[in-house]
Amino acid sequence: MSIRIYSCLLIAVCFGVNATDEKNDEFQNYVHQNVTNQSLKTVAFEAEIIWDELLSIYRDKNNKISELDARNFMVELVSIEMCLKRLQSKLKGEPSIKAEYLDTIDNSFEYVKAQNYIYQTISIDYQDTIISLLPKKTCGDHLTQDEIENITSV
């Protein structure tokens, strides 16, 4: 009996992993096929990793994130989203990366809940702390100086 239960549990876990992998494959294929700017592709793939991590932290509440890790994570999240927003404002013909990643209402709600979960872990002064830790240049942690200059000259 315990072997059968274990087998069912194993199948459920594998299904969950495959479903996540399938979503990531769809997103990556979308970016490869629809995004023409290489810098935007680079940032899109970095954003996907951070967004996946955000959702993973939220889903695995048994593994509580520390306040310091939550702050550092939010710095990464805000940094990548600022960079993405800057790129997308300069590259008007490119598709919305975040809208493609959050392609359903359920995904969007879960994303917001995940952000709130992280914010609740951080102390009350989180905004000032996160802002003080952000890189001085938007996209500075994600693109080379040449890539940033090429985008800003568009």
Give per-residue pLDDT as tens, 85-124.
989 988 989 999 999 999 999 999 999 999 988 888 887 6
Residue 45: predicted pLDDT: 95
Average pLDDT over the chain, rounded to whole?
Answer: 79
Backbone angles phi, psi at 103, to 5 degrees: -85, 0
Average pLDDT over residues 61-88: 88
SS3 content of the chain, % helix, strand, coil (to 5): 75, 0, 25
What contacts 118, CB < 8 A, 6 or more positions away? 54, 57, 58, 65, 70, 73, 74, 77
Q: Which of 111, 114, 98, 119 is nearest to 43 (CA)?
A: 98
Residue 101: predicted pLDDT: 95
Q: Contact 90/151 with Cβ under 8 angstroms? A: yes
Residue 98: predicted pLDDT: 95
Per residue in 69-84, is it b (16+ CB within 10 Å) or e — as a string? ebbebbbbbbbbbebb
Question: Terminus-to-terminus CA distance in the chain, angstroms?
Answer: 65
CA gap 131, 26 in Å, rounded: 33
CA gap 91, 86 in Å, rounded: 9
Q: Contact 40/139 with Cβ under 8 angstroms? A: no
